[in-house]
Structure 1
Amino acid sequence: MSSTHEETPASPVKPVLTPAAAKRANASVIGMIMALAVSLLVLLPVVLLSANPQSPVQRPTVDVSAVAADAKGVAGFSPAAPELPAGYTANYARWEGGASDGVAHWDVGWVTPQQQFVSIVQTASANPTWIAQQVKQAPKTGTRTAGGVEWTLYDKPGVEKSYVGTIGQTTVIVSGSAGFAEFDVVAAAVAAPAR
């Protein structure tokens, strides 16, 4: 006796989630979405407030001639306001009354076309101690001629170099990190009115 038993293909078993299990499953997804949203909200102000590296550096505009004209009355001499070629950007010009070092002086600084720094200080009352402070105790290493003036060079490795010269009745010190070519441009421009 043979019986024919037809086997029916097994239908896939569908898991049945209880309402509590479904709620727990959804809670994990909702929690992840909320954590992501909070992270983005925290990150957004940082991104918006960060400087754009592609944007050009904004430097203040300093009218050296105008500040020099204002300082002339207290200086007792005509502060140097050299006309420099394009690419030299003045970032400060001021009269220092001598409170910190005892010698009142004119002080101007520029960023050069090579993105280095050059400054001048000028005074009618220089003394050896003040000059040594201005050149950062660097030794005399020679002379250079720029603008028809012979400048004494002070230089030592790791310290900015300086030119010291006499313009009219004043001592002028050109100092900074720039190369000799840019120093010569500034020194020649400072010396130009004296010729």
Structure 2
Amino acid sequence: MARKQKAPAVVAELGRPETPAETAARKANDSRLYRQRKTVNNLVFSLIVSLGLMLVIVLMAPGLIGGKSTFEDHSVDVAALAAEAAPSAGRTLVAPAAPDAWKAKSAGLRQRDGVVSWQIDYTTVDETTGHEAYAAVVQAFTPDGAPVDEKWISQALEQQSPTGAEQIGGIDWVVYDHPDRDPDSSNMVFGLQGEWQGDTILVYGTDTPATLRVLAADVAASLTTPKEQ
């Protein structure tokens, strides 16, 4: 016996069965609403995941403890790094003494435009006022022993003009004194350029000339004092 076909269901809102066109329109609308809900759900889920990852990064980041960056306390061992890099440089590298309040933020060999340089970057601190500033020591040389190009030196000293000359610690220095420069937008307010056994020595920064002259004296002592074997 043939199976009896089920009569179309009456839709309450219409009071009659749906026409094929109405059924197709309803299903299309239902699909659209489903896709919208899925998109919103995915967006909410993505935001939750992103916030979770941000929280993990914040908790794991070593530079955020109590809202204070640990980089402020970061300091490298200049003497140890100088001794380690000396064989690669083929010479003794400067490692000046520095006040305990200073932080040596970095020390290493660099190469630019055919010149190799050993550079130390300090955050300096005036023990009287607590004022922080910047100081750098550079020992530059070329692999073939030729003099360091004047253009390289000028770029290192931010293209400032020399203003004088003096002797500190047995080294003759060219002085670059530019007190009108903004220390917040410059790394070179006062600088000294000298030479030691063919290497170019630079001492510069944003601290006071007196402080940087003391650093230059320490640099000279580091270069001229025989190293213990």
So what's the TM-score if we normalise by structure 1?
A: 0.66
Match for residue 101 of structure 1?
113
The code of the aligned residue for 1:63 comes to D
The change in CA–CA distance for 1:55 and 1:71 in structure 2 (over 3 A counts) is: closer
How big is the shift at 1:53?
Answer: 7.1
Of the three residues 113, 120, 123, the one matched with 1:111 is 123
Which whole-Å deviations, capped at 9, do the CAs of 1:16-75 have from their partners, x for residues lacking one? xxxxxxxxxxxxxxxxxxxxxxxxxxxxx9xx9987579997321201011111111111
Structure 1 match to 2:160 = 138
Mean CA deviation greater in 172-181 or 145-154 = 145-154
Cα distance in 2 for residues equivalent to 1:56 and 1:69: 26
**Count of matched residue pairs:** 147
- Aligned with residue 138 of structure 2, among 106, 121, 132: 121
Residues 24-103 of structure 1 correspond to what in structure 2 (within 5 A)? 52=66, 58-96=72-110, 98=111, 100-103=112-115
What's the counterpart of residue 15 of structure 2? none
* Matches of 1:70 and 1:51, distance apart in 2: 32
Q: Using a 3 Å threshold, how does the CA distance of structure 1 residues 110 and 54 change in structure 2: closer, same or farther?
A: closer
Flag structure 2 segments of 5+ consecutive residues without an equivalent: 1-54, 127-131, 143-147
Runs of 4+ in 1 over 4 A off after TM superposition: 48-57
**Percentage of matched positions with identical amino acids:** 31
Q: Deviations over 1:76-109 (max 9, x none)?
A: 211101112322221110111x2x4331110101
For 1:140, what is the secondary structure of its paired residue? coil
Q: Which moved more, 1:148-157 or 1:58-67?
A: 148-157
3-state SS of 2:115 partner: coil
| C-alpha distance in 2 between matches for 1:146 and 1:177 | 19
Change in Cα spacing, 1:112 to 1:130, as seen in structure 2 (3 Å) is same
Which of 176, 184, 187 matches 2:213? 184
The CA distance in 2 between the partners of 1:74 and 1:56, in whole Å, is 31
How far, CA to CA, are the matches of 1:132 and 1:56 in structure 2? 34
- TM-score of the two chains, using structure 2 as the length reference: 0.57
Q: Distance in 2 between matches of 1:164 and 1:101?
A: 19
For structure 1, the residue ranges without an aligned partner over 5 or more in a row are 1-44
**Which structure: larger Rg?**
1
Query: Does residue 180 of structure 2 align to residue 163 of structure 1?
Result: no
Shift of 1:110: 1.1
Cα distance in 2 for residues equivalent to 1:113 and 1:83: 14
Contact persistence 1:119–1:176 (CA under 8 A) = yes
Q: Distance in 2 between matches of 1:116 and 1:168?
A: 30
